[in-house]
Amino acid sequence: MDVSGGAAVERAEDRLRERLERFIARQSGASAAVTGYVRLPGGTLRDAWGIDARINAGPFAGSHRLVYLQDRGGGPVESRLRREDEFRVLAVVHAAGVRAPRPYWHVPRDDLEGLGPGLILERVEGEAVGRRILEDRAFEAVRPRVLEQMGEELARIHAVPCDAVTGLPAPPSGKGAPEAGLDEVERTLREGEEPHPALELALRWLRPRMPAPRPPVVSHGDYRLGNVVVHPSDGLRAVLDWELVHLGDPGEDLGWACIRFWQGVDQPGRRGLGPRQHFLDGYASVAGWRLAPEMVVYWEVFANVRWAVITLRQARRHLTGRERSLELASIGRRCAEVEWELLRLIRAA
**Which residues form the interface with other proteins (CB under 8 A)?**
1-4, 9, 39-42, 47, 194-198, 200-201, 204, 269-270, 326-327, 329-330, 333-334, 336-337, 339-340, 343, 347
**Shortest separation between residue 91's beta carbon and other proteins, angstroms:** 28
Query: Between residues 322 and 333, which has the closer beta carbon with respect to other proteins?
Result: 333
Rounded CA-CA distance 139/179 in Å is: 39
The closest alpha carbon to 226, from 337, 127, 153, 119, belongs to: 127
**Shortest separation between residue 268's beta carbon and other proteins, angstroms:** 9
Rounded CA-CA distance 266/247 in Å is: 28
Query: Between residues 138 and 201, which has the closer beta carbon with respect to other proteins?
Result: 201
Kindly give, in sequence order, each residue whose CB lies less than 8 Å from that of residue 46, ignoring residues fewer than 6 positions away.
69, 70, 71, 72, 118
Kindly give, in sequence order, each residue whose CB lies less than 8 Å from that of residue 273, ignoring residues fewer than 6 positions away.
133, 134, 143, 144, 146, 147, 225, 264, 265, 266
**Shortest separation between residue 71's beta carbon and other proteins, angstroms:** 15
Query: Between residues 214 and 333, which has the closer beta carbon with respect to other proteins?
Result: 333
Query: Between residues 35 and 330, which has the closer beta carbon with respect to other proteins?
Result: 330
Query: Between residues 13 and 281, which has the closer beta carbon with respect to other proteins?
Result: 13
Rounded CA-CA distance 55/269 in Å is: 51
**Shortest separation between residue 1's beta carbon and other proteins, angstroms:** 5
| DSSP sequence for 231-275 | ETTTEEEEE---TT-EEE-HHHHHHHHHSGGGT-B-BTTB--SB-
Maximum CA extent, the chain: 63
**Shortest separation between residue 121's beta carbon and other proteins, angstroms:** 19
Query: Between residues 137 and 270, which has the closer beta carbon with respect to other proteins?
Result: 270
**Shortest separation between residue 46's beta carbon and other proteins, angstroms:** 11
**Shortest separation between residue 342's beta carbon and other proteins, angstroms:** 9
Query: Between residues 12 and 95, which has the closer beta carbon with respect to other proteins?
Result: 12
Query: Between residues 150 and 229, which has the closer beta carbon with respect to other proteins?
Result: 229
3-state helix, strand, coil in the chain (%, to 5): 50, 15, 35
Burial class of residue 52 (count of CB atoms within 10 Å of its CB; 0-12, 13-18, 19+) = middle
**Shortest separation between residue 33's beta carbon and other proteins, angstroms:** 24
Kindly give, in sequence order, each residue whose CB lies less than 8 Å from that of residue 33, ignoring residues fewer than 6 positions away.
21, 53, 54, 56
